[in-house]
Chain A
Amino acid sequence: MLRALAVLLTCQLVGEAITRSLELPLPGPVLGLLIMVAILFAAERWRLVDSATIDETSLGKVSNGLIATLGILFVPAGVGVIQELDLIGKYGAPLAAALLVSTVLTLVVTV
């Protein structure tokens, strides 16, 4: 489990270091995600992993575990909205309109 965490954190760290130093417009963890995908394909080439059994490895278990807990991870930042209540009160109508129109349009366009 710790090995898997070491891999994930290293990917994130490298992603963060690269995006900061090159001032890329990409969030560090997203570059970390891309690095992780690249590592998985490299590991597959050397027959270290394959997509059928990846879920059984500790990396697979830790990754799926993290994805399964995604919901709670948004909560701490979301609670920060109590600092922005006046903003929401002030711009509640345009934000609501924007969300509704955009979600309907996106659903229709994507299909």
Chain B
Amino acid sequence: METPFALWVYLSATPLLWLALTVVVWVFADWLAQRAGRNPLVNPVMIAIVAIALILVATGTPYRTYFNGAQFVYFLLGPATVAIALPLYKNWPTVRRKALPMLAALVAGATTAIVSAVAVAAAWDVPRTVLISLAPKSVTAAVAMSISDHLGGIPALTAVLVAITGVLGAVIVTPVMNATGVRDYAARRFAVGVAAHGIGAARAFSVDPVAGTMAGIVMGLNAVFSSLLVPVFVRLFMAGG
């Protein structure tokens, strides 16, 4: 029989251990979120990232080794992004009926999200790679990470910023909307979709299916629009930075 240490040395180098860890931690994090009544503060993405990061640091496991196993999960991001086509297609009549006001709100919202974030951070002495990683933070993570990667940002940093934005958006939407006096739920959810992407949308689904559909549509539109806008913005304002 192998000693526990020899077994660990063997298992910790296999993709299986880290793949299993990723899925098991996710199931646990998601269970916690469900138990908390999908409270926006109990965000499963955040919990899973922090828990796994702590385990890796505690066991001295390099990220490369972890990613060898976790890449099988990571790979599905691509097909999942393509799958966002489905809610867009399914809800096309709604998209078309409200095309103009939605497009206007989307353009205004997405632009604000990108420009204001980068402008605030740029007031400090923040390097270009970090600014690029920050720019797509309001886009759904799958797309945000590929935008960031594409332009020379740090996809991992973007993933974390996206998750924080999602939590933040879901938490502050009610107080902010109450302060502005907007009572139209469709408009509220649209705003969440632009500001806080999938995590906001996921919460919208749990509040009301119509609002969730709206947020889903917006998540898709925002993904497309922002992948076009962020590169233009980076080229215009951050050239030579």
Binding site for B on A (CB under 8 A): 5, 8-9, 11-12, 15, 25-30, 32-37, 40-41, 51, 54-55, 59-60, 62-64, 66-67, 69-84, 87-88, 91, 93-95, 97-111
Contact = CB atoms under 8 A, between A and B. Distances in A.
Nearest to B111: A109
Contacts, number: 288
B40 interface: no
A21 B231 CA distance: 17
A62 B73 CA distance: 15
Contacts of B26: 71-72, 75
Given A66-B79, A94-B124, A111 B187 contact: yes
Contacts of B172: 103-104, 107
Interface centre among A11, A34, A74, A95 (most CB of B within 10 A): A74
Q: Is the interface of A mostly helix, strand, loop or mixed?
A: helix
Contact of B195 (A11, A28, A37, A106): A106
A27 B146 contact: yes
B138 A106 contact: yes
Contacts of A26: 227-228, 231
A5 B79 CA distance: 8
Contacts of A84: 154, 156-157
